[in-house]
Amino acid sequence: MDLRMFAACLIMTVFLIKHSDAVTGWTGKQSDGTTDIIFTSSSLAAGTSADDTNTAFTVKESTTGTLFTLTATGGTDPKTYAFTTDGNPSSIASDTITAGAVTLATGNALDYETTTSYVFKVVATDSATPPVIGTAEITINIGDVTMWTSTGYTVCLTATSVTAAGGNDMAKFAIDGTSGALTVATSQTLETSTKYVYDVILTATVASVDPGTTTVYLLTVSKV
């Protein structure tokens, strides 16, 4: 092998080493932690970065905590993750991305009626010198959910006028599936000698919307 061929091989070897150090793509999980994020495009920029977009997926508006998790492939571990300057719309997510997990910011909530989708842009930076980066653009759609105006209710009722039922004490109550009216079930009586609390669980369902569940607390008191 003459020197020119040796030099050419050396250059090719160096190129392959540098190329293998690049961030070459992305994988990820949706908010449930098990369903894969499907990426639809990947392009290498001079062998140093991978820029991917995804097929939009749905996150229910009742979701708290993790919205999705990303992992950059290729490059040198460990990697760090951060939003681009415009990559965290409305600051809906926490500014800190730990181990690729994008989470809902403290005090924030998803609301289908306000915003139906978000586009996030996340940059991965590897540990090489100099470091290489890759960018993922993630679109999520917000799924509408039947929402109760409160997570719990307290109702004070006399023993002869109870119009609520369900939940742990379901056997004592009945619910009209159409009107939502709650009544004492046939042949059932409620504790009246002392105050007694019944807790019931109600689920509301609206067409094409995920059902919402809430707990109602009923307090029976003796009539004076």
The tens digit of pLDDT for each residue in 180-201 reads: 666 677 877 776 655 567 666 6
Instruction: Look at residues 183, 114, 175, 118 and name the one whose alpha carbon lies nearest to residue 147.
Output: 114
pLDDT at 207 exceeding the cut of 90 = no
Of 50-64, 66-80, 135-149, minimum mean pLDDT range: 135-149
121 pLDDT tier (thresholds 50, 70, 90)? very high
Cβ atoms of 124 and 114 within 8 Å: the answer is no
Residue 135 CA to residue 54 CA, distance in Å, equals 12
Highest average pLDDT, of 34-48, 49-63, 86-100, 129-143, comes from 86-100
Structure tokens at 11: 């250059």
3-class SS of residue 46: coil
The values of phi and psi at residue 45, to 5°, are: -100, 100
Residue 195 CA to residue 183 CA, distance in Å, equals 18
Residue 96 CA to residue 82 CA, distance in Å, equals 7
Strand 196-206 to 209-221 pairing? antiparallel
CATH topology of domain 3-143: Immunoglobulin-like (2.60.40)
% the chain with pLDDT above 90? 39
60 pLDDT tier (thresholds 50, 70, 90)? very high
Q: Where in the chain are all domains bearing CATH 2.60.40.60?
A: 3-143
Torsional sign, CA 158, 164, 169, 172: positive
